[in-house]
Amino acid sequence: MYRRRGRGGFRLWPILLFGVFLAYYYFSNQQEVPITGRKQLVDISREQEMALGLQSYNQILSQSRVVSGGEAVDVVRRVGGRIARAAADVDPGFQWEFNVIDSPQVNAFALPGGKVAVYTGILPVAANPDGLAAVMGHEISHAIARHGAERMAYQKLIQFGSMAASVALGGMDIDTQRAIMGALGVGSQYGILLPFSRKHETEADYMGLIFLARACFDPREAPRLWQRMSQQSRGAPQEFMSTHPSNETRIRQFREWMPMALEIRKRYCDGEGNMALEPAPGVNVRNSGEKVRM
């Protein structure tokens, strides 16, 4: 009788247990993203996250050709410093560090703790300080929004869900198990992880645009940057297969957010485009009337 019930059967109890765990884990680890106010799932402390960021940063720098000085380093540190200052009201206490890596990669990154690196390959695409501010504002926003920690939490959930599904399918024949687990893997990749990653990119675009506007850079350079990026990335996969929104989507979103960004810049900067010590009265980004679309 045991064999007859087990063979070809589906065990419901692992799924029920996972559902209980999911509810507890999700609601007991809620945080709020600065600026956008979006609720997010994060299960490690700031200190743990910053320690991991510093470890990764030092490892990357030790394996890279770090530019020790020169015009590129000066510009990156000047632009990064202004954006960090513009984000001071949501800065959790990062120790900002800006380095330039000599590499043809069209890339930049920011890790928890305020550890930022810009690759020389992206500088011609950035083209000017305003374009560089769009790049660095985006990367700095990833760190401030704790996107890395949130991604780790969701990957952990997917691993637990896969384990529960594997136990639930344990009574089925091996070919059926493989087929269902394969379908679940594809579904989680295209239905959860990739859309989730694109949401992070959109949120970082939005926050970065606000930060560069507060820092008195020209927000109108952001869509121009992505027009230049588009010329660099011909043959990119379709959006639903990518971790990032398409260049066309990003350009459209920046144009939709532009009136809000220009108004913020006007309020935070003096008539000559210099950063004011305090924003003009009435500045409230969260209640600006604009909502991030993700």
Secondary structure (DSSP) of 165-179: HHHHTTTS-HHHHHH
Instruction: Please give the tally of structural domains in the chain.
Output: 1
- Say what the pLDDT of residue 191 is: 64
What gap in Å lies between CA 169 and CA 172, rounded to an integer?
6
Residue 5 lies in a domain: no
Q: 231: buried, middle or exposed (CB in 10 Å: 19+, 13-18, 0-12)?
A: exposed
Residue 294 lies in a domain: no
What residues contact 272, with CB distance under 8 A and at least 6 apart? none
The candidate with the shortest Cα–Cα distance to 57, out of 144, 116, 103, 122, is 116
Catalytic site residue 71? no
- Say what the pLDDT of residue 280 is: 41
Say if residues 172 and 244 touch (Cβ distance below 8 Å): no
pLDDT tens string, the chain, 294 residues long: the values are 334 444 457 788 888 888 888 888 888 899 999 999 999 999 999 999 999 999 999 999 999 999 999 999 999 999 999 999 999 999 999 999 999 999 999 999 999 999 999 999 999 999 999 999 999 999 999 999 999 999 999 888 888 888 878 887 877 878 777 787 777 777 766 666 666 788 999 999 999 999 999 999 999 999 999 999 988 766 555 544 566 788 899 999 999 999 999 999 999 997 666 776 454 433 344 433 334 444
Residue 4 lies in a domain: no
DSSP three-state, residue 110: strand
Domain of residue 143 covers 11-287
What gap in Å lies between CA 135 and CA 92, rounded to an integer?
21
Say if residues 275 and 85 touch (Cβ distance below 8 Å): yes
Residue 276 lies in a domain: yes
Residue 91 lies in a domain: yes
- Say what the pLDDT of residue 293 is: 42
Angle (deg, nearest 10), helices 147-168 and 194-214: 170
- Say what the pLDDT of residue 272 is: 63
- Say what the pLDDT of residue 21 is: 82
Q: Give Cα separations from 259 to 84, 184, 204, 264, 290 (angstroms).
A: 23, 42, 18, 9, 9
Residue 3 lies in a domain: no
Backbone angles phi, psi at 129, to 5 degrees: -60, -35
- Say what the pLDDT of residue 103 is: 97
Angle (deg, nearest 10), helices 147-168 and 174-188: 160
Catalytic residue among 139, 150, 203, 221: 139
What gap in Å lies between CA 168 and CA 165, rounded to an integer?
5
What residues contact 202, with CB distance under 8 A and at least 6 apart? 245, 250, 253, 292, 293, 294
- pTM, full prediction: 0.81
Residue 34 lies in a domain: yes
What gap in Å lies between CA 131 and CA 212, rounded to an integer?
10
Residue 59 lies in a domain: yes
What gap in Å lies between CA 2 and CA 95, rounded to an integer?
61
Cα 230 from chain centroid?
20
DSSP three-state, residue 30: strand
